[in-house]
Amino acid sequence: MAARCAPRCILPSGLLHRLARSADDALREAALNSLVLDSRFRLARAESSARLLRLPRPVTFARIGGQPQRTIYDQQGSESQTPGVVMRVEGQAPSEDQAANQAYDGLGATYSFYWTVFERDSIDDAGMPLLGMTHYGRHYPNAFWDGAGHMFFGDGDGQILTQTAAGIDVIGHELTHGVIQHEANLTYSGQSGALNESVSDVFGIQVKQYALGQNVHSSDWLIGADIAGPALRPALRSMKQPGTANPYDDQPADMTGYLPSGDVHTNSGIPNHAFYVVATTLGGYAWDAAGPIWYAALTDPQLRPNATFRDFARITVRHAHQIYGAASDQAHAVRQGWEAVKVAL
């Protein structure tokens, strides 16, 4: 069984701390309120982890796969971990609640991407139900995967973030944290933590590109563009140009700007940009070659929880060689991507 982990929020605490020092009273209050709620949630998760571990798992025996099992709940502003009112279940017609429908569609888009491209049956590859908790907290400007089978969506505060269920890439990102948890279980600190965030962005952007039919050149390569409020526009992160997504973006684009004590969301810009270079060098769709190489690396038994950028880079190169050949365009592009961000192979 995969180890339980702390919630993985789309909006990092480091950024919230910077926003909490803003001269804008409303922005500062929203950031502080989010930090308090995030802290409460982490404490509650720790206190209830034993109880959650004893909950029975849904039966997936003889499951064929190819169809998600979605349930969307309305938390009605509550900060409780307990699922609220059921708004929509698999196969039901759209609800009158827009956030419930957005969450339902985003969970479905993520499942469809993983199943169609990789034949992966949900987060755990065994048909795990996808549970979305909408309207979490009061004007909560964040969204997260809690490590225990639930994705929570805040309605946003209107300044930092808007309705978080509207971000297909955000949903893809957060559910990919679950995939990582079941595969490599990358430690959430240092370079392994930055890889955890980067791999989530890599597949989150592919979920969005797949859902919209975008190729590597028509995509904006922005994470969270659909949910960024006025304070963070145009987006939360840019894989094309790390450090330029919003006025508070501190991501480095290569190892010359690596921050040894930096937030995992900050240093994730480095492997993010490596993937962007690989995908755009190869052209076409990101899931044609670049995505499968990254997925092969993520599911490789040799990828350890404490992996460094160099460890991950070498595994991607090895899989590019194995799948396409050492002299192939794909292998050359992977090496070029890591060279571009100054990660030594």
pLDDT at 7: 58
pLDDT at 221: 98
Q: Which residues, at least 6 apart from 66, have a Cβ–Cβ distance to it below 8 Å?
A: 115, 121
178 plus 46 within the same structural domain: yes
Chain centre distance of CA 220: 17
Q: DSSP code of 81?
A: S
CB count in 10 Å sphere of residue 341: 25
Boundary-marking domain end, from 145, 166, 183: 183
| HSE of 292, CA atoms in CB hemisphere, 13 A | 18
147 plus 204 within the same structural domain: no
Terminal Cα-to-Cα distance of the chain (whole angstroms): 32
Query: Tell me: the pLDDT tens digits for 34-74?
Result: 777 766 555 444 433 333 333 344 445 567 889 999 999 99
Query: Tell me: the pLDDT tens digits for 119-177?
Result: 999 999 999 999 999 999 999 999 998 888 899 999 999 999 999 999 999 999 999 99
Q: Domain range spanning residue 171?
A: 8-183
How open is the CA angle 263-268-272, to the nearest 5 degrees?
A: 165
Query: Tell me: the pLDDT tens digits for 193-246?
Result: 999 999 999 999 999 999 999 999 999 999 999 999 999 999 999 999 999 999
What's the total number of domains in the chain? Answer: 2
Helix H or strand E segment including 133: strand 130-134
CA distances from 330 to 113, 205, 264, 345 (A): 21, 20, 28, 16
Minimum mean pLDDT range among 29-43, 278-292, 302-316: 29-43
Instruction: Tell me whether residue 174 is one of the annotated catalytic residues.
Output: yes
Residue 61, in any domain of the structure: yes
Minimum mean pLDDT range among 99-113, 135-149, 207-221, 265-279: 135-149
Instruction: Tell me whether residue 217 is one of the annotated catalytic residues.
Output: no
Q: Is the pLDDT of residue 9 over 50?
A: yes
225 plus 321 within the same structural domain: yes
Q: Which of 135, 177, 265, 273 is labelled catalytic?
A: 265
Boundary-marking domain end, from 154, 183, 212: 183
Q: What is the distance between the alpha carbons of residues 14 and 77, in angstroms, rounded to a whole number?
A: 25
> Average of pLDDT values for 265-275?
97
pLDDT at 16: 82
Question: Could you tell me if 206 and 286 are in contact, meaning their C-beta atoms sit under 8 angstroms apart?
Answer: yes
**In this structure, what CATH number is given to the domain that contains residue 268?**
1.10.390.10
Residue 51, in any domain of the structure: yes
- Token couple for 234: 């145009």
Question: Could you tell me if 123 and 113 are in contact, meaning their C-beta atoms sit under 8 angstroms apart?
Answer: no
> Average of pLDDT values for 268-290?
98
173 plus 221 within the same structural domain: no
- Token couple for 298: 């993520």
35 plus 179 within the same structural domain: yes
Q: Is the pLDDT of residue 1 over 90?
A: no
96 plus 143 within the same structural domain: yes
| Residue in 64, 53, 15 with CA at minimum distance from that of residue 35 | 15
Residue 3, in any domain of the structure: no
93 plus 113 within the same structural domain: yes
146 plus 164 within the same structural domain: yes
Percent of the chain, pLDDT > 70?
91
pLDDT at 42: 52
162 plus 197 within the same structural domain: no
Q: Average pLDDT of the chain?
A: 90
pLDDT at 62: 60
Helix H or strand E segment including 337: helix 329-340
pLDDT at 3: 32
Q: Which of 174, 177, 197, 319 is labelled catalytic?
A: 174
pLDDT at 68: 96
